Amino acid sequence: MAVTPAHAARRERFELIAEQVLEPLQRYLRRRTDGADDADDVLADVLLVLWRRLDEVPAESLPWCYGVARGCLANHRRGEQRRLRLVRRLAAEPVTTPATDDLDLSEALRSLRPDDREVLRLWAWEQLAPREIAVVLGITANAASIRLHRATKRLRAELIGKDPLPAGQEAGRQATEAGT
């Protein structure tokens, strides 16, 4: 991609302003956050806003950047409060032990190939139709339907303890998996 003179000038202005405000903003944010990681996260947000709104930055950029930092810090705190409320709510949820059927299902799922598990999860957990599964997996809708059919057959066999495919199909699948 060719860099236009306008883009080069914009980048140069951004780098000049960032160089001037970076250290003061780091100090400002570190004094107002619990740790250097939080301060760095908020600083990254400030620099993103600075880049996006570069045309709005006045000649005296530091006070403007402090205002942006203040807003980004408020957003960060709101996000932390939401996260903490969620953690508290989840901690207050009663712990339930899975039913025996759930354990059997989990064990049966674990015994399947990863591709089969993914097709089944997309269908059962995400409620996707085969045509939607096809988009997720980058295959045709027909291939997704076939994979789903075979995966459900294998899961059923795991749950009831029978061979999911007739001998010829199983031998063909094993040969395909072995790369022959």
- 104 vs 71, residue with greater confidence: 71
CA distances from 7 to 10, 22, 52, 58 (A): 5, 21, 13, 19
For the chain, which residues make up each domain, given as ranges? 5-92, 100-178
Is the per-residue pLDDT at 17 higher than 80? yes
- Report long-range pairs for 154-160 (Cβ below 8 Å, ≥24 apart): 154/112, 154/116, 155/108, 155/109, 155/112, 155/116, 155/120, 158/107, 158/108, 158/111, 158/112, 159/104, 159/105, 159/108
Architecture of domain 100-178: Orthogonal Bundle (1.10)
Confidence of residue 163 (pLDDT cuts 50, 70, 90): low
| pLDDT recorded at residue 162 | 58
- What are the phi and psi torsion angles at 138 (to 5°)? 70, 40
Is the per-residue pLDDT at 168 higher than 80? no
Weakest-pLDDT range from 29-43, 47-61, 165-179: 165-179
CA distance 109 to 152: 10
Tokens of residue 26, six digits: 């780091």
| pLDDT recorded at residue 70 | 97
User: Which pTM was predicted?
Assistant: 0.54
CA distance 42 to 17: 17
Architecture of domain 5-92: Orthogonal Bundle (1.10)
**Dihedral over Cα of 143, 149, 153, 155: its sign:** positive
Extended beta strands in 71-118, E state: none
